[in-house]
Structures are given as structure tokens and as C-alpha cells.
Amino acid sequence: MKKVNLLLVLVMIAALALSACGGGSSKLKIGLVTDVGGVNDKSFNQSAWAGVEKAAKEFGWDAQYIESKQPTDYEKNIDQFATENYDVIVTVGFMMGDATAAKAKQYPKIKFAIIDNAYFPTKDSKACDDTAKDCYADGGLKNVTSLMFQEDQVGFLAGVLAGGMSKTGTICSVAGMEIPPVVRFVVGYQNGAKWIKPETNTLNVYVPSFIDPAKGKETGVSMIGQGCDVIFGVGGNTGNGGLLAAKEAGLMGIGVDVDQYLTYAEVKDILLTSAAKNVDVAVYEYLKTVKSGAVKAGINTANVQNGGVGLAPYHDMDSKIPAEVKTKVDEALKGLKDGSIKTGYQP
Amino acid sequence: MDTSIRKDRLLSQKWLRTLINLGGVLLALVIAWELLNLVIGRQCDGKCITDTLSQMLRVATPIAFAAFCGVVCERAGVVDIGIEGKMLTAAMVAYAVNLFSYQWLQSMMEASAAGTLSRWLALLVGILAALLLALLHAVSSIRFKIDQIISGTVINILALGVTGYFYRQFLAENLPAGPGTFPKIVIPFLADIPVLGPILFRQQPLTYIMILLAFLLHYVLFYTPWGLRTRAVGEHPRAADTLGIDVLKMRYTNVLIGGLIAGLGGVWFTLEAVDVFNPMMTNGLGFIGLAAMIFGKWMPFGALIGALIFGLGNSLTTTVSIYRPDLPSQIPQMLPYLLTIAVLTGVVGRAAPPAADGQAYEKQ
């Protein structure tokens, strides 16, 4: 009886060990904590890890990642890196905002970078109260750099393309959780489509998960039923499910975060483009400042002006996109750059 | 009293109960429909209704399989909360087998035949993987009498780790193109019936299997010796043992059959819903299936209705979200759970599990 229980415990430990990682050396150590999507999400977690790997290889650092299985893992995973004396911890995603702030205060000697979340003085916020003028400088987050992206800009460009390509005049998006980076994508996308054709009908559904392709696909199927013929998948694997719905119905899709033509072969035939956030570049640039010692707490924003966000190449669709639509996309890009076009996103 | 009269009375009571249950479900549907229209202002037309209902059936499929697994196991007195893990494992195994056997079969036959063959092969291997986990659960909880909840939890954690590991090692990138999901089977004539046709008879194979399984399980559980023994073992194993029923053997069989059924629910994800796999993609539907089973009072049809209600909530979420983008997204997202709570408290009375549910049996 006891033996069997012991056996079960061993099986459990083995199972847990399979889902974690280890490592150790005396060089500068970079740890990355992924969101629940995991490091192979074909999307922004993967991209962030690519940036860390690139920097680590180039500068001869050690790099490790831990995948969060659920939101309650965030703090635990940061703790694990901290107890192993990591020098820099990169946390991926808006959802990790509170955990990162709390842990950055607990470990002031470790440098933190968080993707997609910025801190502003807010009443009763865990990160920093409204008595602070600036969360980073005097709010206690002196060791945190926020890597932000203007998703609304690249979403706008995707919307222009979608609106230009739609035959039915209805475009849609399968979105993940309703959190600021996702909302920025969606709002930009819808306004972009209306910018090129004001009568365009836009549909959107937020699915409360980033890891549910089956639900994403069903959502896509519903919107296709409503006449949508270009689907923008904005929600990790959930959004990918939306792209699968477009593929099955022989329609068009737009990827998100990375050039999904390269990372997501299943849908590459129907991808017009991807609304890319160069998370890898942003992470790499941040780690470069760590190396040079120029690292600063505060918000780094990537936008179309500095090339931090942008549409991926059209790849196979290049010949199918009419020249006038391409011209419109370029026009919108120019307008966003010089500020003559606004995406319509209000925080 | 004459036995035949008593039997008649029993029968009429049973029919009355069924009728009341059906009426309750209908009432719930009507209320749901009216509430829906209050929210979206009668924008949902004929096509939207059939789309929503056929989506309900699709979404309900894995939940129903999970619930059936629960019914088969718990009717024999074994609690199985490892359904989620079995589904996840089956999903991954089926995905991998589908992908790689397709590559291999393609060299021998034309692509469409290879696709069909590899999908069915994947289904078979997928449910066998779930069977292996069920065997682990059976051996640990029946043979070694480990607490069944703990054994189920171990299976869930094990499945999470193992599938995550294999995914990262072999299934994350550089994959060949797969044959895709099961195509829809359109049943001739029946599919042309208005409203019902597109909902019931234009589905993929696992959805049909799920519906047939509900009838089969009901028949087997309540009209065959095997079913009688199963229920006896779940209610009063000592009495069953006294009458010469091999309690442990019954429990083993049922847990293993339950494993196969859970496997069907798992392969749904990667063979019928989407042709991708990612970690944790079953998203807790195994546990929702257990809720559907409790809702259905451990009856196959009850479990099916429970699954359908949850499926309906899900598809309504999408419909409401589409028509009312101005609502905060969390409000439609609450629908499946609100609907479940409303139905649970309003229609279903107290649910009592089989008396010996969750208790290990020690032969004296």
C-alpha cells in the first residue's frame, strides 16, 4: 500500500519535472516567464523567447524559460528565477502585470522587463498608488522596463487590407481576452477597414482564453455565417482557431504578433499578411541596453515610426492583392507615421 | 396488489417524470430564447438559429463524451476525475498519429484515401491511449484501493506533463502538412429537412457517434444484465457480491469502457474540431462533463441534455457577442454558467449519486 503511494508520488514528480526546466552557471542569467500560451505558441511568447535567445547567444549569456500553466504560476515562476540568482527576468504579457510589479519590489536588484503592460499611478493599485507621480521613478518600480507596442497602428493597417480585400463588405476578428493589447488590435483593425470603405461591417468576438483553438474556430464559423470573409485572428491559439475556420471555408485570414506564414504552416495558403509586433526585436534591444548599462526604467514604445510594429510580407497572396489596395495600405502607413491618420484608439 | 398494476403505475410515473423533465427543458429553452431576443433585438433569423443550434451540438460533443465516461464509471462505483487528462492525452496522440501516418500512407495510396485511413487510425490509437490511462486509474483505485480522487488527479497532472513534453519535443514546429479534420457527413434526405436537417444531419462523425452512444448507453444500462450488474455494483457492491457478481471485474470493465469513451471526447479536439494540438487545449471540458453528468443524475440522456445546455450557452455567447459588441465581453461570456445554474436550480431536483460511488470494495 505504502509502496504504491510512493510510486504515485514519483509519477507525479516525474510529470512535474517534465514540464519544468533547469540550468545554472556564473554568467549573466536571463530568465523568461511565459504566459499560459507557452513558449511554442507560434505567437508572442515564442517571439519574446526568440529575442532572449538571440541576445543570450550573441552576448554569451545563459537563458532559460519557464512556462506558466495558469495565472497562479506567475509569481511562483518569477520566484524560481529569483532564488536561482537570475540577473534579468522578462515576463510576457499584460496578464503578468500585478505579479511582475509585486516581485520587482520584492527583488529590487533584479532587472525586470514586462511585455505589453505599462504602469500608471492609480488609486489602490498593487503596482503603484496614485500618490506617486511616476510608477517607475518614485513608485518603487525602479527596476522595471515596460516594452509596449502600438498594436492599434498595425491593426489599422491590417484593417485597411481586410476592408480592401473583402468581397462581402463584412470583416471580422476572433479575439482573445479583452485586455488592452488585444483591444488595441481590434479597434485599429475595425477603424482601418472603415477608413478604406466607410460602409464596411465589422464583427468581433472576445473569447476569454488564449489557448482554446476549438472555441476560436467555432467563433470564426459563426461570423462566417454572418457574411464575414476576412478573419483576423488576435488571440494566440484561440485566434489561430479562427484562422482555421477561414481556411476551411476557403476565405482569407490575417495573422497576428509574428509573421504567421512562417510559424503556422497550416493556414499559410489563406494568410493575407500578419499584424506583426516585433517582440523579439524589442526584447533584444532591451537586453542590449542591459549589456551596455544604459538600461532605464520606464516605458519603451514600439510603433510604426520606429519599425517596432508593422505588416508582415504578403507572401503567396502578393499577386492576389490588387495594386490599389496595396497603395491604400502604403498611404495609411504614411499617414500613421506623420500623424495625419489616427487609429481611433482611446485608452 | 397485483404486480401488473404496480408495474403500470411505475411505468406511468416514469413517463410522467420524463414528461415533466422534457417540459422543463422546453420551458428553459423558450425563456432562453426570449431573453436572447431581449438582448439582441430579434436580429437572429432562420439561418442564425440553425447555425447556433448546430454549433451547440458540436460544442456539446466532447462534453457529452466526458459525461458518458463519468456515467459508466460512477454507475459502477468508481469516481473518475481524470477524464480531462485522458481527453488531453487522446487529443495529442490522435493528432500525432494522424499527422505522421498520413505521411507514411501517402506513399502507398492516393491522398484522400490516405487522409481517411489516417484519421480513423488516429481515432483508434487515440482512444487506446486514453484506455491506458484508464487502466492506470483502474489498477490504482480498484486493485490498490488508492483514493479515487487522488488517482484521478495524478492522471490529470501526468497527462499535462507528458503532453506538454511531447508537444515541445516533437509537435511544436517543422511539422509536415496533415490531412485535416473529419469532413462533414451529410445524410441523404434527412439533411434536407428544414431546420432539423442542418442541425442534426450535417455533422461530423464523432457528433453522430455521440448521439448514438447516448441511446446505446441508456439501453445497455437499463435493459441488459450487464447494466443491472453495473448499477448493483455501484449501489451496493456487498449485495451484488453475495449474488455472485464479480464486483472487481465489473468495475474494471466499466472504468476501461469509460476510458474509451473519454478518448472519443479527446480525439474530437484534434480530429474533428481543429487539426492542431496545443497544451491544455481541452480547457477543462472534462470537468464540465462531470457537471453535466451530475446535472443528468447519472443518466445517459440527462448527461446529454446537460452537455447540450452547456453547448447552447457557448454558442449563444458567440451570437450575443456578435450582435451586441457594445456589451462588455464578460457579460455574454457568463451565459453558459448562468444558464447552467438557472437550469440546475430550477428544473433539476436533488441529485443523489450511486450509493457506493467513490468507495473501494474489499472482498470479505
pLDDT 10s digits, A283-310: 999 999 999 988 889 999 999 998 889 9
Q: What number is the average pLDDT over the span A117-127?
A: 85
**pLDDT tier, A24 (very low <50, low <70, confident <90, very high otherwise):** very low
Would you say residue B158 has pLDDT above 90?
yes
**pLDDT band, very low/low/confident/very high, at B43 (cuts 50, 70, 90):** confident
Of B162, B280, B325, the CB nearest to A204: B325
SS3 state of residue A171? strand
* Percentage of the residues of chain B whose pLDDT score is greater than 70: 95
Span B31-49, mean pLDDT?
81
The HSE-up count of residue B172 (CA atoms within 13 Å, CB side) is 16
Are A63 and A110 contained in the same domain? Answer: yes
Band of pLDDT at residue B349, cut at 50, 70 and 90: low
Report, in angstroms and rounded to the nearest whole number, the Rg of chain A calculated over CA atoms.
21
Q: Model-level pTM greater than 0.95?
A: no
Nearest to A46 by CA among A184, A237, A272: A237
Coil vs helix vs strand at A2? helix
CA angle, B151 then A68 then A140, to 5°: 135
Strand-pair category, B202-203 with A298-302: unpaired
Domain assignment present for A131: yes
DSSP category for residue A126? S
Q: First and final CA of chain B: distance in angstroms?
A: 38
Residue A321 in domain? yes
Domain identity same for A188 and A226: yes
Q: Is the pLDDT of residue A51 over 80?
A: yes
pLDDT given for residue A21 in this prediction: 45
Residue that has been written with the C-alpha cell 505504502 in this structure: A2
pLDDT score recorded for residue B364: 73
Q: What value does the mean pLDDT take over residues B91-97?
A: 95
Nearest to A292, CA basis, from A77, A28, A21: A28
Residues A82 and A129 both lie in one domain: yes
Mean pLDDT of chain A: 89
pLDDT of residue A23: 42
Scan residues 40-99 of B and list those with Cβ closer than 8 Å to A.
47-48, 51-52, 55, 58-59
User: For the stretch B14-48, what's the b/e string if a residue is b when 16 or more beta carbons lie within 10 angstroms of its beta carbon?
Assistant: eeeeeeebeeeeeebeeebeebbeebbeeebeeeb
Range of the domain at A130: 25-149+280-302
Question: Among the listed ranges A120-124, A148-152, A189-193, B100-104, which one has the minimum average pLDDT value?
Answer: A120-124
Q: Do A139 and A285 have their domain in common?
A: yes
A229 falls within a domain: yes
pLDDT of A26 reads: 56
A345 Cβ contact partners less than 8 Å away, ≥ 6 residues apart: A152, A183, A184, A187, A188, A191
> What is the domain count for chain A?
2
Minimal-distance CA residue of chain A relative to B175: A265
The percent of residues in chain A predicted with pLDDT above 70, rounded, is: 93
- In A, which residues are within 8 Å of B162 by CB distance? 15, 18
Q: Is the pLDDT of residue A164 over 70?
A: yes
Instruction: Note the pLDDT of residue A5.
Output: 62
Name which of A203, A140, A136 is nearest A166 in CA terms: A203
Cα(A192)–Cα(A152) distance, integer angstroms: 9
Which residue in A66, A41, A48 sits closest to A236, CA to CA?
A41
Residue A198 has pLDDT above 50, yes or no: yes
Ramachandran area for residue B236 (φ above 0: left; ψ -120 to 50: alpha; else beta): beta
> What average pLDDT does the segment A118-130 reach?
85
User: Does any domain span residue A19?
Assistant: no
CA distance B319 to chain A (A): 7
Residues 119-148 in B contacting A (C-alpha not used; CB under 8 Å): 140, 144-146
A6 occurs within a structural domain: no
What is residue B193's three-state secondary structure? coil
Residues A181 and A90 in one domain: no
Q: Please say if the pLDDT value at position A25 is more than 50.
A: no
Topology adopted by domain B28-37+44-346: ABC transporter involved in vitamin B12 uptake, BtuC (1.10.3470)
The residues pairing with B44 across neighbouring beta strands, listed in sequence order, are: none
Query: Do A189 and A209 share a domain, yes or no?
Result: yes
- Do A40 and A138 fall within a single domain? yes
**Set of cell numbers at residue A239:** 485566434
**Whole-complex ipTM:** 0.86
A312: helix, coil or strand? coil
Do B283 and A212 lie within an 8 Å CB cutoff? yes
Spans of all domains in chain B: 28-37+44-346
Residue B263 pLDDT > 80, yes or no? yes
Same domain, A212 and A328: yes
Selected for mutation to probe chain B from A67, A171, A212, A259 (highest B CB count within 10 Å) is: A212
Measured distance CA(B283)–CA(A218) in Å, rounded: 15
Q: Is there a single domain that holds both residue A31 and residue A143?
A: yes
For residue A11, name the pLDDT band (cuts at 50, 70, 90).
Answer: low
Secondary structure letter of residue A322 according to DSSP: -
- The CATH number assigned to the domain holding A39 equals 3.40.50.2300
Under a CB-based contact definition with an 8 Å cutoff, are residues B264 and B289 in contact? no
User: Could you give phi then psi for residue B114, rounded to 5 degrees?
Assistant: -60, -40
Are A124 and A171 contained in the same domain? no
CB A149 within 8 A of CB A309: yes
Least reliable range by pLDDT among A97-111, A147-161, B172-186: B172-186
Please name which of B315, A224, B133 lies closest in space to residue A232, comparing C-alpha atoms. A224
Instruction: Transcribe B77-102 into DSSP letters.
Output: T-----HHHHHHHHHHHHHHHHHHHH
